[in-house]
Amino acid sequence: MYSQLRAFPEILPYMMRKRLRVVHLVRHNHLDVLISFAIKRKIGRAHLLTPEDRPKDVSVDIDPTSLLRDLRKLQFKHSVGRQLLRVSKLNHIEVAYEDLVESQSHFDDVLAFLHVSADGQPPLSHIFKTRLASQEQIIRNYEEVKRVLETSQFAALLE
């Protein structure tokens, strides 16, 4: 995570020295990232280990006054991450979370890049998604958010 690299800058030289392969996992929909952050703050955790832990009827507010700034900040972090990987000459692959969720077949490229054999089995996770509902169902002030985004460069982030 970008924050870990900031907190522990010695990670990058270590990765370069060891010639580690890096999977740069990104999310194309930064609005969904902001929703995830808001849910995490509300329920006090980022991951669920059982479906029963999933909060019922969770909804969040997204601050429309800082929304565009927050989205640009997330976009900037991705850009800096990409530049850092290029400049460091680390062997890396970029993968979008949305692609991995869409189809297990997207894991094939990642596994091949990491030289990991899956023996025909898709990777398994013991972590469950926190959010199953649509943006409109989760964001209490969805109409405000929509008004801010629909005329911006981020309009495509709306479901």
* Distance between CA atoms of residues 48 and 91, nearest Å: 32
Find out whether 106 and 99 touch, Cβ atoms under 8 Å: yes
Find out whether 131 and 138 touch, Cβ atoms under 8 Å: yes
* Residue 104 pLDDT: 82
- C-alpha distances (whole Å) from 73 to each of 33, 94, 134, 142 are 12, 19, 23, 21
Residue with the bigger pLDDT between 156 and 106: it is 156
* Residue 121 pLDDT: 78
Provide the H-helix boundaries in 19-117.
30-43, 67-88, 97-102, 107-113
Does an H or E element contain 25, and which? strand 22-26
* Distance between CA atoms of residues 54 and 156, nearest Å: 28
* Residue 36 pLDDT: 93
Residue with the bigger pLDDT between 4 and 71: it is 71
Categorize the per-residue pLDDT at 134 as very low, low, confident or very high, splitting at 50, 70 and 90: very high
Categorize the per-residue pLDDT at 135 as very low, low, confident or very high, splitting at 50, 70 and 90: very high
* pLDDT tens column, 12-44: 999 999 999 999 999 999 999 999 999 999 988
* pLDDT tens column, 39-77: 999 988 888 888 888 877 889 999 999 999 999 999 999
For residue 111, the Cα-to-chain-centroid distance in whole angstroms is: 19
pTM to 2 decimals? 0.87
* pLDDT tens column, 81-132: 999 999 999 999 999 999 998 988 889 999 999 999 877 777 888 888 888 8
Find out whether 119 and 36 touch, Cβ atoms under 8 Å: no
